[in-house]
Amino acid sequence: MRKHQTLGVYLHAQGVSRRAFLKFCSATASLMALPPSAAAQVAAALAAARRPSVIWLSFQECTGCTESLTRSHAPTLESLIFDAISLDYHHTLQAASGESAEAARIAAMEENEGEYLLVVDGSIPLGNPGYSTIAGMSNLDMLRETAGGAAAIIAVGTCAAFGGIPHASPNPTGAVSVSEIITDKPIVNVSGCPPIPVVITGVLAHFLTFGTLPDLDHLGRPVAFFGQNIHDRCYRRPFYERGQFAHTFDDEGARKGWCLYELGCKGPTTYNACATLKWNEGTSYPIASGHGCLGCSEPDFWDKGSFYTPISAGLWGSRETLIGAAAAGAALGVGSALAARARKKKARAAEEAES
């Protein structure tokens, strides 16, 4: 990736004179209805510090990823867009519509060629260009055009990262992920349906703070947030080991916070930070609120059988070695859990025999 430059340095390198730059600043000032004296301040600000430009494209999506972005408490969305980045194109938030919106995207691409960060949510339908268009342009064309000058791409949400729900069988629109189309740019997959709010902003913060992209796992996800499976970090894990399970949603085990494995929890094969970072400023996460993990940060989680079928039933495929390994680990866990239960039964029988 090219080292980030200020606009002043960039324009100088492009052969743009100081005079032309100041003229641009006057135009910017007048566009904003600022007094002419403000042009100098604009020039100083522009030349000194430039917030990295971010272009956010939304394709076959539900806007849940953007909603999740707004829920981040650190960094907050408002601190990001006012102090850290320049969010130059984002359908849900931007003021301009229609031609003006597209002009903002084009301007951001031209002014920040090779420098801007591209964020994508939603999958891209290859079945027909008419399945999803923006300003009359197919998603495929818009992705290719915008990715061309991007420094890096962040695929936010399971749809952009792995195809997500539009990709679920029988994939009626031929939906694919970003990485199936763009192969010549660094891509970070921030999966989840939606991703945890602070994971989305955490990846952006990493880029802004360290100037690099974070280390990734074999599916292109940051290891900081997707390096561990939920089961290993879950506060209910000890109950799994002891063989204490909730058998239905409102039984003693459910109320006491025992393991949800038998109710279909996909925690053992799901790599995400729900159990450590939790959701919405540490308020809870799905398992802590009584429902098994859906596995939403994994590829094809929609097609792995019912959400209420335990994974030991063999419905969870082993497409990736890692997932296979995790399943094997889970099977071992079940084994030890069963052994624990057998031990308890034996102990009880012994007690009864004694009495």
Residues 91-110 that bind other proteins (CB under 8 A): 91-104, 107-108
User: Is residue 127 involved in binding other proteins (CB under 8 A)?
Assistant: yes
Determine the 3-state secondary structure of 221 from DSSP.
Answer: coil
User: Is residue 284 involved in binding other proteins (CB under 8 A)?
Assistant: yes
User: Is residue 276 involved in binding other proteins (CB under 8 A)?
Assistant: no
Min. distance of Cβ 346 from other proteins in angstroms? 28
User: Is residue 9 involved in binding other proteins (CB under 8 A)?
Assistant: no
Min. distance of Cβ 355 from other proteins in angstroms? 29
Of 64 and 148, the one with the shorter C-beta distance to other proteins is: 64
Determine the 3-state secondary structure of 6 from DSSP.
Answer: coil
Which parts of 204-233 interact with other proteins (CB under 8 A)?
none
Contact status, residue 90 vs residue 116, Cβ threshold 8 Å? no
Determine the 3-state secondary structure of 125 from DSSP.
Answer: strand
Which parts of 53-82 interact with other proteins (CB under 8 A)?
53, 58-68, 70-73, 76-78, 81-82
Which parts of 20-49 interact with other proteins (CB under 8 A)?
25, 28, 32-34, 38, 41-42, 45-46, 49
Binding residue for other proteins (CB under 8 A) from 184, 250, 351, 354? 250
Min. distance of Cβ 48 from other proteins in angstroms? 10
Task: With CA atoms as reference, report the closest residue to 229 among 275, 197, 186.
Answer: 275
Of 45 and 349, the one with the shorter C-beta distance to other proteins is: 45
Min. distance of Cβ 64 from other proteins in angstroms? 2
Give the number of C-alpha atoms closer than 13 A to the C-alpha of residue 184, restricted to the C-beta side. 8
Give the whole-angstrom CA distance, residue 315 versus residue 295. 13
User: Is residue 295 involved in binding other proteins (CB under 8 A)?
Assistant: no
Give the whole-angstrom CA distance, residue 348 versus residue 353. 8
**How would you label 268-285 residue by residue, b for 16+ Cβ within 10 Å and e otherwise?**
bbbbbbbbebebeeeeeb
User: Is residue 299 involved in binding other proteins (CB under 8 A)?
Assistant: no
Site string for other proteins, 316-345 (x = CB under 8 A): ------------------------------
Of 127 and 214, the one with the shorter C-beta distance to other proteins is: 127
**How would you label 306-345 residue by residue, b for 16+ Cβ within 10 Å and e otherwise?**
ebebbbbeeebeeeeeebeebbeebeebbeebeeeeeeee
Handedness of CA 77, 81, 83, 85 (dihedral sign): positive
Binding residue for other proteins (CB under 8 A) from 228, 280, 318, 336? 280
Min. distance of Cβ 353 from other proteins in angstroms? 33
User: Is residue 353 involved in binding other proteins (CB under 8 A)?
Assistant: no
Of 77 and 151, the one with the shorter C-beta distance to other proteins is: 77
Partnered with residue 189 across adjacent β-strands are 155
Sheet of 150-156: strand order equals 86-89, 53-58, 116-121, 150-156, 187-190
Of 26 and 331, the one with the shorter C-beta distance to other proteins is: 26
